[in-house]
Structure 1
Amino acid sequence: MPRKGPALDEVVPAVRRLLRRGLPVIPSSASTVLLDLRGVVARAVDPADVTSRATALDGTLRGLLARFPDDRYASAARALFGLPPAAPGQNLTVRRAAAAAEAGHEVHHFRKRVEPKLIEKVTWELLADADRFTRSPLIAPRLAPAPARQPVQPDPFAWEVTEHEEHLCRLWSAIYAARAELLTVERLISLHADRTDILRTAVTAAWRWASARAEAISYTTGFAPPQLEASVSELVAVAGWAPPLTEAQASRLTEAAAGAADREQFVAALHGETDLGNAWTGAFFTHSASRAMTHEQNGQQS
């Protein structure tokens, strides 16, 4: 059983303390309560090393701030913590002024009214991230350098263990490949890239996502340990947000990607299935439009 996570009132002071120096995080600026968050520990190369966990915390915060859920204050939150439009090494007074300017507020009002809410929001995001790692048994296996060749002994047990590791590596390789393409689509949409480029990348993301799903099915069917209480959908969800599909649509994509099909084979296998293509690619633009509308509404309310 995972231990109970820290409460909001424990983490807020720790985030406030971290804010004094800003990013990048160093061990002396990070409280233990932050370094012990499950999402931070899981990302650390060496969880027992405080410097490694500080590096993981820095990366976690950068990722959360890059995807800050409140578009109205996203740029201000980043500046407050020392990310562009602010610069590393600037003191809190300078960063606060930059953040207030980004938010369109006078500095005193920003410090009293807005900054505490941004700190609380960052705290909530850190706790939500930790909760996702706490609830999920799905953490990619860490790899270490091999100092020498590691031959497999000619023994049925050794073959079974090695085959299991092979499939586990293929699974996580496919999941990370899918995540990379899904992130690329979101980045291109954010950049207002040419629609043709976005669509091409979305198709690549569909291929990678379907390949990951095929690997997840293969792994859970033949190699998943009994204690892994995760479905195929939960495994693939680790790659990130993907367009919502019906079970039949997801199965059709998976079928087209099965057998290590390359992108061209995947596209050829789905030739003429316009409705399925629109369900996948169209969802990215719908999702983006919804976010833009929310941003506009927030701007009108402020």
Structure 2
Amino acid sequence: MTAALKRGIRVGLPVKPDAAPEVLLELRGVRARAIDAGRFLSRVKALNGLLHGFLTGLGEGEEARALRCLFAVHAEDRGTTLTHRRRRAAGILGYNDTHFRKHIEPRLLRDFAWLLHEDSQTYTPRSRKAPPKIEISGDTPTLTPGEVNEHEELVSRIWALVYELRAELICKARLEAEGDQTAQAEVDDASGTSLWLVARLLSRMHDYLDRYGERILHGEAEFNAEGLIRLAGWSYELSPEQAKHLRYILAKSGGDRASFISEARAYLRGAPTESSEVDK
């Protein structure tokens, strides 16, 4: 794996299909993340997502920055020669070029290879029935250094809301299927809670997109707001203005569920509310 990574830094990210090391493409963590593990290009895409995710998640330490430089993670390093990137990485760590190339770079690549190996030992493939990208699992779940960062925390909170919304929608559908009139109050409660969860999910996703760009990245997968909400099972169509206003109502309610549901339902019915005239 270390030798494969050494070949990988010659050009840097993204790894091109004709230069993708087979030993990395066959990692369990890569195959598990691939949309179609049987397809070569799908595994290449998964490998690029895995490498990029780990490298950007290593933090802002000097060694992490040096590794990102070697792999040309950032735009300013794309298209530069390995000699140039080595010189920059050596400068970050305060070494001369020769010492860095002979002694420091091999250790950095070995350490990074070990992180990839550990990930492959603990990563659980996605289930056919569950939304993709489930949490890693094992007898004693651990967090790798690459996962301890704000990006991973926010992604995890988003997925927690996706699953919570999905559970509430399942609950509502189950109650409706039972056809018990006495359960109508529970159906209405589940419906309101679903709307509240949608607003919370929209708010979290807005925070993510504001910080990290136009798409929500999770491993090799890319999602937009509509895709994630539909993945949870929500089928109600919201216009961009409605989605924005629901986030406003949520903020205005201070996160209070009952207050939000009351005003949100009035807004969606077209009834006047306190915030109807607010410039959103």
Provide the TM-score with structure 2 as the length reference.
Answer: 0.51
Once residues 40 and 133 of structure 2 are traced to their aligned partners in structure 1, the CA distance between those partners, rounded to angstroms, is: 28
Once residues 67 and 82 of structure 1 are traced to their aligned partners in structure 2, the CA distance between those partners, rounded to angstroms, is: 15
Q: Residues 31-60 of structure 1: CA distance to partner in whole angstroms, max 9, x if unpaired? A: 211001122122223322222211221121
Q: Which amino acid aligns with 1:13?
A: A
Q: Do the aligned partners of 2:65 and 2:92 also contact (CA within 8 Å) in 1?
A: yes
Once residues 82 and 59 of structure 1 are traced to their aligned partners in structure 2, the CA distance between those partners, rounded to angstroms, is: 14
Residue of structure 1 in register with 2:45 after alignment: 55
Which runs of no fewer than 5 residues in structure 1 stay unpaired? 1-10, 142-164, 176-182, 190-201, 224-254, 272-302
Once residues 156 and 254 of structure 2 are traced to their aligned partners in structure 1, the CA distance between those partners, rounded to angstroms, is: 11
- Which of 169, 189, 209 is the aligned partner of 2:160? 209
Q: Which amino acid aligns with 1:127?
A: H
Q: 1:98 to 1:47 in 2, by over 3 A?
A: same
Equivalences for residues 210-249 of structure 1 within 5 A: 212-213=163-164, 215=166
- Give the secondary structure class of the aligned counterpart of 1:20: coil
RMSD of Structure 2 on Structure 1 (CA): 4.1
Moved more, 259-268 or 19-28: 259-268
Residue of structure 2 in register with 1:6 after alignment: none
Residue of structure 2 in register with 1:93 after alignment: 83
Report which of the two structures shows the higher radius of gyration computed on alpha carbons: 2
- Which of 68, 71, 92 is the aligned partner of 2:61? 71
> 1:88 Cα deviation (Å)?
2.0
Once residues 205 and 81 of structure 1 are traced to their aligned partners in structure 2, the CA distance between those partners, rounded to angstroms, is: 26
Residue of structure 2 in register with 1:186 after alignment: 150
Once residues 106 and 216 of structure 1 are traced to their aligned partners in structure 2, the CA distance between those partners, rounded to angstroms, is: 56
Q: Which amino acid aligns with 1:38?
A: R
Q: 1:38 to 1:260 in 2, by over 3 A?
A: farther
> 1:218 Cα deviation (Å)?
8.1
Q: Do the aligned partners of 1:19 and 1:92 also contact (CA within 8 Å) in 2?
A: yes
Residue of structure 2 in register with 1:113 after alignment: 103
Q: 1:46 to 1:106 in 2, by over 3 A?
A: same
Q: Which amino acid aligns with 1:21?
A: V
Q: Do the aligned partners of 2:62 and 2:92 also contact (CA within 8 Å) in 1?
A: no
Q: Residues 120-177 of structure 1: CA distance to partner in whole angstroms, max 9, x if unpaired? A: 12212211222232xx25x164xxxxxxxxxxxxxxxxxxxxxxx6xx56xx6999xx
Q: Do the aligned partners of 1:15 and 1:119 also contact (CA within 8 Å) in 2?
A: yes
Q: Do the aligned partners of 1:24 and 1:88 also contact (CA within 8 Å) in 2?
A: no
Q: Do the aligned partners of 1:26 and 1:51 also contact (CA within 8 Å) in 2?
A: no
Q: Which amino acid aligns with 2:69?
A: A
Q: Do the aligned partners of 1:46 and 1:52 also contact (CA within 8 Å) in 2?
A: yes
Q: Which amino acid aligns with 2:163?
A: A
Residue of structure 1 in register with 2:36 after alignment: 46
Q: Residues 49-91 of structure 1: CA distance to partner in whole angstroms, max 9, x if unpaired? A: 2222112211211111101257231111111112227522222
Aligned length: 176
Residue of structure 2 in register with 1:246 after alignment: none
Q: 1:74 to 1:125 in 2, by over 3 A?
A: same
Q: Do the aligned partners of 2:193 and 2:257 also contact (CA within 8 Å) in 1?
A: no
Higher RCO (CA 8 Å, separation ≥ 6 residues): 2
- Give the secondary structure class of the aligned counterpart of 2:62: coil
Once residues 97 and 133 of structure 2 are traced to their aligned partners in structure 1, the CA distance between those partners, rounded to angstroms, is: 47
Once residues 31 and 125 of structure 1 are traced to their aligned partners in structure 2, the CA distance between those partners, rounded to angstroms, is: 17
Once residues 116 and 173 of structure 1 are traced to their aligned partners in structure 2, the CA distance between those partners, rounded to angstroms, is: 31
1:32 aligns with 2:25: no
Once residues 25 and 102 of structure 1 are traced to their aligned partners in structure 2, the CA distance between those partners, rounded to angstroms, is: 24
Q: 1:219 to 1:44 in 2, by over 3 A?
A: same
Q: 1:85 to 1:99 in 2, by over 3 A?
A: farther
Residue of structure 2 in register with 1:267 after alignment: 255
Which runs of no fewer than 5 residues in structure 2 stay unpaired? 136-146, 175-189, 201-249, 260-280
Q: 1:43 to 1:268 in 2, by over 3 A?
A: same
Identity, % of aligned positions: 31
Provide the TM-score with structure 1 as the length reference.
Answer: 0.47
Once residues 98 and 162 of structure 2 are traced to their aligned partners in structure 1, the CA distance between those partners, rounded to angstroms, is: 52
